[in-house]
């Protein structure tokens, strides 16, 4: 197969990149290891920053999002049994976020790509990238039936997530990984019950963090901090509701509403950055280059920032012949990546109970929360980061 841009991975990064390139008149081929149904059902992120929403609109992938997405003007922090609302538009000059699940973003982009775009090959697994540092890179792949093939391209963009193969094509001696693992994970559930609160709630409790989010007016998405290594099967539905109720207890009598749980899974928490994010004709985008812990919902939005940057650079190259923007790609993305790493790390530490924390550190955590909810400049700083760094 011959194309201009070979894309590995049909997560949000690879799918959106293919769409942006199509709109710029640049050919691409996307290969994805899993089948379509798996990609469309994989429960993950839910919050789209203002900038992500704008990009999806510009890419013409907004029709259903604008009908079904829920615009959110703020979040609430809950600690010491009291809720403290933050109103984003007031704090940021009009910015907000949208709840529209990653599964839905992927479904929309897949159907557009199959209708209007270049090849999108499911059940086609990249085995490796060759010639990354040459003008003729290629991707070796294997289909489900065991047959193999090669994509010859001018550029390869690895959007193949943390477990992908793209990163391996960069010589080890040029790479530096920065990493942190956390001693806790998130147990996430989907439940067929209307959200108990209009806004998202980030709750800090001595028993651990809890997050109340949603997927629609009838489906709730809730998370509990659990020890690393927890198996979702170890938690009965009743235990989950009891724990959510305890961690979200308030003095005003408000309560989490229970309903049938339709899905349960555990997400480990990790911070990870791979530098550099490019090597010759190979570019890394999204989780292939960096992971953030989910607190603050930056993962998907960072992936969007990367592919917007690489699409812009490829368009610039095609239109002007200059590869200035391509050469600046890694540096440009890493600025934004490290801001998101900092924010996600701070939000994680602000809200989770560390099993090794001393009583002194617990008190400091509450003092930090109190400082945020009582100081306009601190609230503004958080609201600006939450609603998104400029693309």
Could you give the CA distance from residue 210 to residue 321 in angstroms, rounded to a whole number? 51
Residue 295 contact, options ligand FAD, ligand DHB, none, Cβ 5-8 Å cut-off depending on partner type: ligand DHB
Q: Answer for the pair 8, 126: CB distance below 8 angstroms, yes or no.
A: yes
Q: Is 212 in the site for ligand FAD (CB under 6 A)?
A: no
Q: Which of 153, 159, 297, 369 binds ligand DHB (CB under 6 A)?
A: 297
Catalytic residue among 100, 155, 222, 386: 386
Taking CB under 6 A as the rule, does residue 69 contact ligand DHB? no
d(CA 244, CA 238): 10
Instruction: Find the shortest distance in angstroms from Cβ 149 to ligand FAD.
Output: 12
167 vs 221, beta carbon nearer ligand DHB: 221
Q: Which of 296, 304, 310, 343 binds ligand DHB (CB under 6 A)?
A: 296
Among 5, 18, 21, 45, binds ligand FAD (CB under 6 A): 45
Judged by CB under 6 A, does residue 369 bind ligand FAD?
A: no
Regarding beta strands 120-121 and 28-31, do their DSSP bridges make them parallel or antiparallel, or are they unpaired? parallel
* Sign of the alpha-carbon dihedral angle for 212, 215, 217, 221: negative
Q: Is 125 a catalytic residue?
A: no
Q: How far is the CB of 361 from ligand FAD (least distance, A)?
A: 26
- Token pair listed for 154: 């001018």
Q: Which does 213 bind (CB under 5 to 8 A by kind): ligand FAD, ligand DHB, none?
A: ligand DHB
Here the tokens at position 166 are 């793209």
Give the length of the chain.
Answer: 391
Catalytic residue, chosen from 72, 205, 274, 317, is 72
Return the residue of 10, 45, 191, 369 that touches ligand DHB, per CB under 6 A. Answer: 45
Core vs surface per residue 150-183: b (16+ CB within 10 A) or e = ebebbbbbbbbbeebbbbebbeeeeeeeeeeebe
Residue 386: active-site member: yes
295 near ligand DHB (CB under 6 A)? yes
Site string for ligand FAD, 76-115 (x = CB under 6 A): --------------------------x-------------
Cα gap 214→257, rounded to integer Å: 13
Least distance from C-beta 174 to ligand FAD, angstroms? 21
Nearer of residues 99 and 369 to ligand FAD, judged by Cβ: 99
Q: Which of 16, 26, 31, 47 is in the footprint of ligand DHB by CB under 6 A?
A: 47
Token duo for residue 226: 């659990």
Residue from 11, 294, 305, 388 touching ligand DHB (CB under 6 A): that is: 294
| CA distances for 129 relative to 29, 114, 169, 176, 206, angstroms | 14, 25, 6, 19, 47
Q: Is 195 in the site for ligand DHB (CB under 6 A)?
A: no
Residue 221 sits in the site that holds ligand DHB (CB under 6 A) = yes
Q: Which residues bind ligand DHB (CB under 6 A)?
A: 45-47, 200, 211, 213, 221, 294-297
Q: Which residues bind ligand FAD (CB under 6 A)?
A: 8-14, 31-34, 39, 44-45, 102, 125-126, 159-161, 163-165, 267, 286-287, 294, 297-300, 303
Active site residues: 72, 202, 294, 298, 386
């Amino acid at each position: 197969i011959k194309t201009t841009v070979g894309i590995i991975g049909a997560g949000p990064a690879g799918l959106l990149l293919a769409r942006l390139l199509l709109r710029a008149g640049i050919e691409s081929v996307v290969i994805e290891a899993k089948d379509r149904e798996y990609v469309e059902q994989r429960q993950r992120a839910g919050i789209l920053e203002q900038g992500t929403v704008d990009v999806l609109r510009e890419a013409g992938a907004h029709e259903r999002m604008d009908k079904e997405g829920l615009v959110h003007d703020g979040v609430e922090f809950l600690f010491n049994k009291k809720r403290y609302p933050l109103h984003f538009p007031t704090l940021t000059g009009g910015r907000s976020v949208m709840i529209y699940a990653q599964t839905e973003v992927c479904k929309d982009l897949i159907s557009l790509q199959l209708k209007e775009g270049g090849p999108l090959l499911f059940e086609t697994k990249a085995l490796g990238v060759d010639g990354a540092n040459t003008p003729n890179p290629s991707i070796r792949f294997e289909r489900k039936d065991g047959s193999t093939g090669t994509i010859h391209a001018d550029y390869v963009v690895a959007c193949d997530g943390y477990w992908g193969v793209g990163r391996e094509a960069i010589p080890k001696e040029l790479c530096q990984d920065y990493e942190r693992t956390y001693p806790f994970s998130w147990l996430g559930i989907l439940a067929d019950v209307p959200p108990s609160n209009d806004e998202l709630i980030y709750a800090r409790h001595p028993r651990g963090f809890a997050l109340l989010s949603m997927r629609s007016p009838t489906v709730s998405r809730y998370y509990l901090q659990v020890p690393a290594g927890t198996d979702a099967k170890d938690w009965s539905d009743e235990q989950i509701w009891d724990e959510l109720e305890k961690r979200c207890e308030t003095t005003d009598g408000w309560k989490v509403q229970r309903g049938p749980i339709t899905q349960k899974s555990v997400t480990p928490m990790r911070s990870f950055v791979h530098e550099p994010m490019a090597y010759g004709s190979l570019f890394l985008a999204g989780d292939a280059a960096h992971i953030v812990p989910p607190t603050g919902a930056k993962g998907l939005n960072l992936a969007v920032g990367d592919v917007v940057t690489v699409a812009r650079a490829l368009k610039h190259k095609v239109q002007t012949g200059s590869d200035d923007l391509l050469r600046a790609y890694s540096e440009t993305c890493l600025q934004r990546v490290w801001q998101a790493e900092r924010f996600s790390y701070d939000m994680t530490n602000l809200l989770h109970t560390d099993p090794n924390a001393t009583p002194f550190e617990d008190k400091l955590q509450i003092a930090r929360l109190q400082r945020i909810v009582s100081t306009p400049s601190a609230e503004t700083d958080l609201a600006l980061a939450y609603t998104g760094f400029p693309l």
